[in-house]
Structure 1
Amino acid sequence: MRQFPAEFADLLTARGARLLAGRDAAAGALADPRCRFLALFGLIDRRQAAAAATLLDRLLLPHLRPMARPIPPETIWEETRNYAEHLPKAMRQQTAHLDNRRSAGFRAAEAAGLIAMLRSDSYRAFAGALAGAPLKRKYGLQALAYNAGDYAGPHTDHHPEEPDAARGYFDMHVSFATPGLRDQYLVYARAGHLTEMVDVAKSGMVTAYRLPLWHYTTPLRAKPGFEASARRWVLLGTFLYADPADGQGRRRPA
């Protein structure tokens, strides 16, 4: 693969194409209030997924910036009551925001055909098929790279200060992994407890979230001898639910 295809649909397997058309069991699953997270494998062609990871390593990796936020020491030493701790979102990864046209990351992604693919009609339609609800046409894009030891601590991705997102929104993540990746897990809450765990180290995996949701990503572990090259790429699309006033019919899920 020298460039990403112009349409996201060109990465899909037969099952992925059925989901895009709304004919798969996972289509619309996140419209059910009882379902807030999906992890799906087998929607993206394995060879395409491997080639995508190689292309991202070659063209986008040099333009990522570190995003590291350690646990502040005052969360312990300024605590005055037993069990009154509050943990802010801690993380370590690399990122490129793909909405900033002036950034080097955007230009590299555009040259690789990534921006066109992530702005394609089939990409947005695929997200809508998973969400099971109308989504606004404008959405945000970001690329993340998890290297050995990188993680994201417990957080909700709740944005109460942003009116359009305060009542919830939808995220779709597409993962591409290099061969040196051993494992990485996403843990999320069900019925108020962090009891659910999914292996997200499979290349070509699609995960979808109805946010806010308590979740975290465990430190990436590399296979022995592959600590420098083990990597999981995550392409994020962040979508707002369309309001009935937008003329797109149904209300956002609760």
Structure 2
Amino acid sequence: MRSNDIPAEFEDLLSRAGRRVLAGTHPLCGALANPRTRFLSSEDLLDRARIARVRRTLEAELLDTLEPIEKPIPPDTIFGMTQDYGELLPKSSRARTIYFESRREPGVKAAERIGLARMMRSESYRAFAEALAGRRLKGGWGLQVLRYGPGDYAGPHNDHHPENDAAKGGYIDLHLSLCGPGVEHQWLVYSRAGHFSEIVSVAGPATVTAYRLPFWHYTTPLVGTPKAGRWVLLGTFLYR
């Protein structure tokens, strides 16, 4: 790993268009402040060459530290039913992850060693999220790293946290999606006007997605070669 593969500031991974977001001159600035906009996606905000170097560093340095997420559909969602058409589906998912809840975790130690944690905690990362959100966001935001391999997915869920006073009124998720060679497709499906009618590819090499949560959505199984993968660098921001 070269020392400059993951910069200290998120700003250094941005393309010219991405820097316009930070400057407040891009059309996406404030997009999530529109009550009708819950989700946005763009493939031209990140510098692809720099993102490719980051992705190769993640593959080399973090792959062995990822923890599995295995949440299959419970059998009683079918056989525990007592009424026709009474289905209730909890969130199911399969992927691999690094949670940033403890600095003692091997994945967190590795993320700090290669500079990933520092970049995701940089002020330009929050400033970028604020520009898309169109409002001020709190410091101390949450971090997570995910890697989807072939067949990995996230089932329908809404990311609502009614028991959390700080989050129950809504919040912003910012995802940096880094797909490597061999990924054929993966899709984000989300609801509009009560129907799963919207779909967008998340299989690009350098994609930014941003969510004004909560709302219903799911991620389809990744399709690709056996070693294909999509990394997601995730920041969760509460409103100030």
TM > 0.5: yes
Contact between 1:31 and 1:132, CA under 8 Å: does it hold in 2? yes
Residues 164-183 of structure 1: pairs in structure 2 closer than 5 A: 164-183=166-185
TM-score normalised according to structure 1 size? 0.92
CA distance in 2, matches of 1:99, 1:127: 21
Structure-2 residue corresponding to 1:239 = 237
Aligned position for 1:156:
158
Asked if 1:188 is matched to 2:190, the reply is yes
- TM-score (ref. length: structure 2): 0.97
Secondary structure class of the residue paired with 2:69: strand
1 CA distance for matches of 2:221 and 2:22? 32
> C-alpha distance in 1, partners of 2:204/2:111?
22
Contact 1:8 1:120 (8 Å CA) reproduced: yes
Structure 2 counterparts to residues 214-253 of structure 1, below 5 A:
214-222=216-224, 226-227=225-226, 229-242=227-240
Q: Which amino acid aligns with 1:35?
A: T
> In structure 1, what is the equivalent of residue 59 of structure 2?
57
| 1:25 maps to which of 21, 24, 27 | 27
Q: Is this contact kept in 2: 1:187–1:215, CA < 8 A?
A: yes
1:137 to partner: Cα distance: 1.1
8 A Cα contact 1:8 1:117, kept in partner:
yes
Instruction: Provide Cα deviations, 1:43-96, integer angstroms capped at 9, x if missing partner.
Output: 111111211111111111110000010000000001000111100000000000
Q: Which residue of 2 aligns with 1:106?
A: 108
1:102 deviates by 1.0
Q: 1:124 to 1:99 in 2, by over 3 A?
A: farther
Matched residue, 2:139: 137
How far is the alpha carbon of 1:138 from its aligned partner? 1.5
Q: Give the whole-Å Cα distance in 1 for the aligned partners of 2:102 and 2:174.
A: 19
> Distance in 1 between the 2:54 and 2:9 partners?
14
C-alpha displacement of 1:99:
4.0
Aligned length: 238
Query: What is the aligned-residue identity percentage?
Result: 55
Pairing 1:74-93 to 2, within 5 Å after superposition: 74-93=76-95
The one-letter amino acid of 1:233's match is W
Give the Cα separation in 2 of the matches to 1:121 and 1:134: 13
The SS at the match of 1:201 is: coil
The structural deviation recorded for 1:98 is: 2.6
Distance in 2 separating the partners of 1:80 and 1:121: 52
- Please name the residue that 1:123 is paired with: 125
Separation in 1 of the partners of 2:228 and 2:193?
Answer: 34
Give 3-state SS (helix, strand or coil) of 2:173's partner. Answer: strand
The offset of 1:117, in angstroms, is 0.6
- When the two chains are superposed, the root-mean-square deviation of aligned CA atoms in Å is 0.9
- CA shift, 1:122, in A, is 0.7
Q: State how far apart, in whole Å, the 1-side matches of 2:169 and 2:94 are.
A: 28
Amino acid at match of 1:175: S
State the distance in 2 between where 1:130 and 1:99 align: 26
Once the 2 structures are TM-superposed, how far is the Cα of residue 146 of structure 1 from its aligned partner?
0.1
Aligned to 1:210: 212
Counterpart-to-counterpart distance in 2, 1:99 and 1:236:
14
Using the TM superposition, give the Cα deviation of residue 22 of structure 1 relative to its aligned residue in structure 2, in angstroms: 1.0
**Contact 1:30–1:132 under 8 Å retained in 2:** yes
Q: Is the 8 A contact 1:98 1:115 kept in 2?
A: no
Structure 2 unpaired stretches of 5+? none
Q: Following the alignment from structure 1 to structure 2, what is the Cα–Cα distance between the partners of residues 22 and 82?
A: 52
Task: Output the CA distance in 1 between the equivalents of 2:182 and 2:49.
Answer: 16
